[in-house]
Structure 1
Amino acid sequence: MKRLLSLLAVLVAAFVAGRSWTSFKVKLEIKRLFSASKPTTGKVFTYAQIVGLPNPVQRYFKLVLREGQPYINFVRLKHEGQFKTDLKKDWMAITGEQYFTTATPGFIWLGKTNLFSAKDRFAAGKGGLQVKLFSLIPVADGSGPKYDQGELLRWLGESAWFPTNLLPSENLSWSAINDNTALLTFTYDQLTVSYKVYFNAAGEITQMETQRYMGEQTLENWVGKFSEYQDINGIRIPTRAEGIWRLKTGDHSYANFKLNLIEYDIPESF
């Protein structure tokens, strides 16, 4: 019995030490993400910037930003919600925190359920996804060009939470489709991604559609939906987000997130 208790104590100590080491490494990675992106200082939004943009895009910026809004450089947020590890599996509760840089495209997302933890990232022009059972045992580690494309798309789409990032620039452009939709295109480090963006009558972005790699598989239609806009930190942003794979078999929702907290220009981990 004593040997068994000693073994259990050793295993628990190893588990705790492993979790602590993982947490330390993640915080270091977040610190490197922030330090690698030089902030834009003194740059503010003006209505003159959106003259000539497609009508629904102009409505959007007039709704979500105020004249003189400083450009957002760093973002950190927390969310809760539901997630599916596979489209055929049941929903499970998930909590997450996420960190973004804007001057240099980048993010780190940390998600946790009762069974696993996940880290989604785009940094230094490279994307990747890691999943660990009980936050310790690796079960997935994806990287490569397909992940680069997918994670840059995630960074661009989730810019709805920090909309100065969607203003036109040398890398970002909008082109007209019709009165309620526009094409958003972004180029970074020889990688170009785009979304077909849908707006409602109020000017809110309600849906973004693109083609995205489904893991290591082929390109599939992917949809991000946004809803329940609120004024937070002087900016109007969605507080609900849903991820959907639009396949031949129909729409398959796999992520439903509710924003709990978002803070701008605090380049630190929670």
Structure 2
Amino acid sequence: MNWMGWTAAGMGLLVAAGVGLAAFGSSRWASATQVQMALLEAARLPAPAGRYDAREIAGLPAPVQRYFRAALKDGQPLIAAATFGLAGTINMSDSGGERWMPFTSTQRAVTHRPGFLWNGRVTMLPGIAAHVHDSYIAGVGRLHAAMLGLFTVAQVQGDGEIARGELMRYFAEMAWYPTALLPSAGVRWEAVDDHSAHATLVDGPIGLTLLFRFDEAGLIASVHADARGSGVGKDMVMLPWDCSVSDYHLHHGMMVPTRGTASKGGMPYFVGDLTSLVYEFNAQGE
């Protein structure tokens, strides 16, 4: 066998080893995902039964009233949980450059107690993927990324700014589970102007106030935070953070966005399109 034959055989062995390693890593990651999902479900609290009563929005700021009239119908079952798929691209550069990589993901969000688990798969090279958990569970924020699901490249967990940042993500994504934005679900609204309002959410010791902006149709266009923790190397810096949503469609009687984008410090880093959406409604509200 000449050198080309040996090279081809060697590459074949490397590819086979890589495939086997990737399969093993995916299996281990799936087990870890089940553990995190069990923690999310264990932290849930009994959700109040019932349906949306349009009378509860009386007295809210005008743009917020328009939003609920556009997004919900009277008698809408209240959402207890949402499971949705997203696919798109993530900018993996941490130096302000452009290094966009494709991803697919599933996410589970529960509304009582607020929490979510995002399970993403980012393709770094053909056949090589990073698996990512991003979550807020029982007041604890967590980010864990591992190449092939085996080799950890990033891991942070805790309360404080880590938890605040993850709860902020949950709050900004409520357009996908809009009954969680109702005053009866614990959100307090305050007027800013005719097209925006501040919304406040409290979970345990964490209180957040974000700026919601609404489009001409009355639907949520973007959510802004003056500062959200962002990892830069081994450090965390506070940067302005924006989440925009668009391309609304009717799902289970509610108007929800099918595209979401996020940016930090004015630099976009996430673009995702909805690929699936399943709701779990509160008891007696179905």
Gaps spanning 5+ residues in structure 1: where? Answer: none
Distance 2:182 2:60 in 1: 10
Question: Among 29, 51, 56, which residue is 2:63 paired with?
Answer: 56
Deviations 1:128-161 (A, max 9, x none): 1011112211000012322101000001110110
The answer to whether structure 1 residue 83 and structure 2 residue 99 are counterparts is no
Give the greater-gyration-radius structure (CA): 2
Letter in 2 for 1:124: A
* Alpha-carbon distance, 1:169 to partner: 3.8
Summarize the alignment of residues 228-243 of structure 1 with structure 2, pairs less than 5 Å apart. 228-243=247-262
- Tell me the residue number matched to 1:69: 76
The answer to whether structure 1 residue 101 and structure 2 residue 120 are counterparts is no
* Alpha-carbon distance, 1:174 to partner: 0.3
Distance 1:78 1:197 in 2: 24
Count, aligned residues: 261
- Tell me the residue number matched to 1:137: 151
Distance change (3 Å), C-alpha of 1:13 and 1:64: same
Question: Among 229, 233, 236, which residue is 1:213 paired with?
Answer: 229
Letter in 1 for 2:53: T
Distance 2:89 2:20 in 1: 31
Distance 1:128 1:177 in 2: 32
> Identity percentage over the alignment?
30
Distance 1:117 1:123 in 2: 19
Distance 1:118 1:76 in 2: 17
Pairwise CA RMSD: 2.3
Gaps spanning 5+ residues in structure 2: where? Answer: 1-5, 125-129
Q: Secondary structure at the match of 2:236?
A: coil
- Tell me the residue number matched to 1:157: 172
Letter in 2 for 1:119: H
* Alpha-carbon distance, 1:41 to partner: 4.6
Distance 1:93 1:105 in 2: 28
The answer to whether structure 1 residue 45 and structure 2 residue 60 are counterparts is no
8 Å contact kept, 2:196–2:211: yes
The answer to whether structure 1 residue 110 and structure 2 residue 119 are counterparts is yes
The answer to whether structure 1 residue 224 and structure 2 residue 248 are counterparts is no
8 Å contact kept, 1:121–1:128: yes
- Tell me the residue number matched to 1:197: 212
8 Å contact kept, 1:114–1:134: no
Distance 1:243 1:113 in 2: 16
